Amino acid sequence: MLRNQRLNDELENEAADSPWARPRDLVAQMTIEEKLGQLSQVNGGTPDLHDAVREGRVGSVLNEVNVDEVNELQRLAVEESRLGIPLLVGRDLIHGFKTIFPIPLGQAASWDPSAVQCAAAIAAVEGASSGVNWTFSPMIDITRDPRWGRIAESLGEDPHLCSVLGAAMIRGFQGASLEDPESIAACAKHFAGYGASEGGMDYSAADISENELRNVHLRPFKAAVDAGVSTFMASFSDLNGVPASGNVFLMRQILRDEWGFEGFVVSDWESIRELTVHGFTANEREAAKAAAEAGVDMEMAGDLYRRLIPELLEAEEIDEQLIDAMVRNVLRVKFELGLFERAYTDPSKYPEPLNAEHLELARDVAAKSCVLLKNDDQVLPLSKQDLQSIAVIGPLADDGYEQLGTWVFDGDSRHSQTCLQAIHSVVGDEAQVRWVPAMRTSRSRQDEGFALAVEAVQQSDVAILFLGEESILSGEAHCRASIDLPGNQEQLIDELSNTGKPIVLVVLAGRPLTLRNVIDKVSAVLYAWHPGTMGGPAIADLLFGVESPSGKLPVSFPRSVGQVPIYYSKKNTGRPPSHESICHIDEIDGKAPQTSLGMSAFYLDDGFTPLFPFGYGLSYTRFEYRDIEVSSHVAIGERVRFSATVQNVGERAAEEVVQLYVRDLVGSVTRPVKELKGFQRVRLEPCESQRVCFELHTDELAFYNQKMQLVTEPGHFHAWIGSSSEPELWGEFEVVAAS
Ligand code: BGC
């Protein structure tokens, strides 16, 4: 059971400059109570916290961000506890600290690693100014189910996009060196499989074959290790019958043995106690033993380790060497953060949170995260010169709180700049703005406000609707079985569209919503997610053409919830559908013989395509793709080259996300019909063209085979370059065995 832990005697001769030397020496001086203290994370404000810290019974505190209190806790730890070990201070900075950025799913829609890295760096420096030195982010669970409320926190459906953006977040939080006072430790969560919770319901079990686990769900976690992430969080979900917090295969075999991870693993909130609720262990004692042996180093918000490990040691059911190894893992991160040299926080040494530069970056990321889904007759951008009046409708137009999104503990809605405020400031006196909320909340089932809204729209040149979901409808434990616009919103859109006025729908939401019932009733749709503090100005910049939309969907948008899970990188099946092979339920004759249907993989009522595919997003200009070139043959170990010309053939400068997809035609394990392998954001002036080039090492074509070996198999491949996961330009190449 001690596999993959450095044992005490192995470390004896470790050189003084080894990262294990100081943890080793410190552990050698610790009592068992002090060791277990280092493995305990306690919630801020717990009644006897000060005494517990003074007595060395706490290694980490979470959810305490009052800097004076944090400094006092650090003082008790450093100056009054016997060994003077500083505390890790953890907080969920999921999309910002005080300056709130778009929800992670929105940030993922930017397809911009540098923007995502910047957002994390700002969260880190703002959090660090309050004494936070560790965050439980990024969440890199792959999810393909928009019913799951935590899709809001995710980076979407695709392992490549999620890996690249997750690594960017880690670089943002951890900076060039963890010792830098502006850096904080990151945490890759939730390891693993949480995003595949059955039925999109939070906390439910996930059943994922090992092959799928390795080829899809684990890839972003491996990328996190490669990016140097300091900590991992074990999920509280059940993976293939073994809850992740007691899962030896995940935490010992994969994380430590195969990947060589040297940081520490924290449990999720009470996830060790819950091993018994799952029915995996019979009682708390067994749960503590199972989690420790599986590789959970620190317990979040529980006291099982502290209470029960002494008994387990006494009964010789657990080896103290295991506990020593766990403590060293935690101490190593504390040393790497430089906490022994710098436990206290002086906020005056940090930039003020919410400063102009942070707000400007939040505005930039929010603008990049919005996805233009529809724009009939170029109704957008609006020209304020040509408009005399604008109706602004909807409960989310002027709600600084709801635009922030889920997982916002420290952001204050009084700093939010709303869409209504931003529209007023853009149009000034040039156009009249008629504002009608129409509904009390996004869920209201009343329609008393509708008549006023209809009147405002009738009297205006254009209507901008701010609809969608309030923050509380997504996030942890907030799943939905129906993902339509909630409440009476569809009816409101119906009534407003009957006015015949052009209608622009701006959706603020924590997940993809099913828009099928409304999409044909509006002229334009801008999907803004929950855009954060600066959502208003960012959206107004897009509506009025100061910026052109450049976001792309990080997740497929289903037509109906019944299509879920729907994602672009499907397996082909033996009977792939085509537009010709399918028919609609309404086209079937009465008493039709059984063979009259298409005999391929589709729904009679919803076909097989999403409403909007992964990678999709319009711009105010048009980009033309041509002249794809792909290396024709490469040997294993070489690089494949791909290029295409992209030209801005419209009239506005804009950014485009150029996407590269590959299909491995034959594999010893079947391969998806398309896999994203690269992407680049390019900015092009009108008429400007650029040759966009990608290179892939053949290792980047590797996948886990039936024996769970990571292999690149020789054979034929297709490649596409384009503006979404349904690109038109394609080429082919062959990978041959190395000579
Ligand atoms: C969540 C984690 C989070 C932790 C601490 C749990 O409920 O699952 O993602 O980091 O709480 O707030």
Cα(164)–Cα(167) distance, rounded to whole angstroms? Answer: 5
Extract the tokens encoding 59.
Answer: 């290694």
pLDDT grade for 66, boundaries at 50, 70 and 90: very high
**Residue 425 backbone phi and psi in degrees, to 5:** -75, -30
HSE (side-chain half, CA atoms, 13 Å) at 489: 31
**What integer pLDDT is reported at residue 37 of this predicted model?**
98
Nearest to 542 by CA among 525, 523, 522: 525
pLDDT grade for 6, boundaries at 50, 70 and 90: low
> Ligand 1: distance of its center to the CA of 124 in Å?
18
63, 92, 204: residue to mutate for ligand 1 pocket, most atoms within 8 A of CB: 92
Respond yes or no on whether the N-terminal peptide bond of residue 181 is cis (omega within 30° of 0): no
> Ligand 1: distance of its center to the CA of 190 in Å?
9
Q: Which atom of ligand 1 is nearest to the CA of 136?
A: 10
pLDDT grade for 597, boundaries at 50, 70 and 90: low
**What integer pLDDT is reported at residue 4 of this predicted model?**
53
Q: Are strands 389-393 and 432-436 parallel, antiparallel or unpaired?
A: parallel
Cα(335)–Cα(644) distance, rounded to whole angstroms? Answer: 48
Nearest to 617 by CA among 511, 722, 693: 722
Q: For residue 162, what are the CA distances in angstroms to 21, 169, 371, 575? A: 35, 10, 18, 30
Q: Is the dihedral of CA 724, 725, 726, 730 positive or negative?
A: positive
Extract the tokens encoding 123.
Answer: 């969260």
For the whole model, what pTM was predicted? Answer: 0.98
**What integer pLDDT is reported at residue 598 of this predicted model?**
66
pLDDT grade for 731, boundaries at 50, 70 and 90: very high
**Domains of the chain in sequence order:** 41-195+216-349 (3.20.20.300), 369-543 (3.40.50.1700), 623-736 (2.60.40.10)
DSSP 628-655: EEE-SEEETTSEEEEEEEEEE-SSS-EE
pLDDT grade for 1, boundaries at 50, 70 and 90: very low
Other CB atoms within 10 A of residue 425 CB: 12
Cα(674)–Cα(592) distance, rounded to whole angstroms? Answer: 35
Which residue of the set 92, 238, 268, 541 is catalytic? 268
Contact 672, 569 (CB under 8 A): yes
What does DSSP assign to residue 514?
Answer: B
Contact 633, 590 (CB under 8 A): no
Q: 22-32 pLDDT, tens per residue?
A: 999 999 999 99
**What integer pLDDT is reported at residue 353 of this predicted model?**
98
Does residue 144's CB lie within 6 angstroms of at least one atom of ligand 1? Answer: no
Extract the tokens encoding 480.
Answer: 């939905």
**What integer pLDDT is reported at residue 592 of this predicted model?**
85
For residue 593, pLDDT over 90 is answered with: no
Q: 229-250 pLDDT, tens per residue?
A: 999 999 999 999 999 999 999 9
Nearest residue CA, atom 4 of ligand 1? 269
647 beta partners: 624, 689
Contact 552, 617 (CB under 8 A): yes
Contact 646, 623 (CB under 8 A): yes
Cα(641)–Cα(698) distance, rounded to whole angstroms? Answer: 11
Cα(561)–Cα(517) distance, rounded to whole angstroms? Answer: 12
Contact 612, 553 (CB under 8 A): yes
Q: 203-230 pLDDT, tens per residue?
A: 999 999 999 999 999 999 999 999 999 9
For residue 264, pLDDT over 80 is answered with: yes
Contact 263, 297 (CB under 8 A): no
DSSP 10-75: HHTT--TTSTTHHHHHHHTT--HHHHHHHTEEEETT-TTHHHHHHTT--SEEES---HHHHHHHHH
Helices and strands (H, E) in the chain, number of each type: 21, 26
* Contacts (Cβ under 8 Å, ≥6 apart) of 413: 400, 401, 404
Does 158 participate in catalysis according to the annotation? no
Does residue 544's CB lie within 6 angstroms of at least one atom of ligand 1? Answer: no
Does residue 34's CB lie within 6 angstroms of at least one atom of ligand 1? Answer: no
Extract the tokens encoding 240.
Answer: 């293939």
With residue 320 as reference, give the H or E element that holds it: helix 320-336
To the nearest whole number, what is the mean pLDDT of the chain? 97
Rounded mean pLDDT of 106-114? Answer: 98
Cα(684)–Cα(655) distance, rounded to whole angstroms? Answer: 6
Does residue 141's CB lie within 6 angstroms of at least one atom of ligand 1? Answer: no
Does residue 476's CB lie within 6 angstroms of at least one atom of ligand 1? Answer: yes
188 beta partners: 232
Nearest residue CA, atom 11 of ligand 1? 269
> Ligand 1: distance of its center to the CA of 556 in Å?
26
Sheet arrangement for strand 299-300: 134-135, 88-91, 60-62, 40-43, 299-300
Other CB atoms within 10 A of residue 503 CB: 23
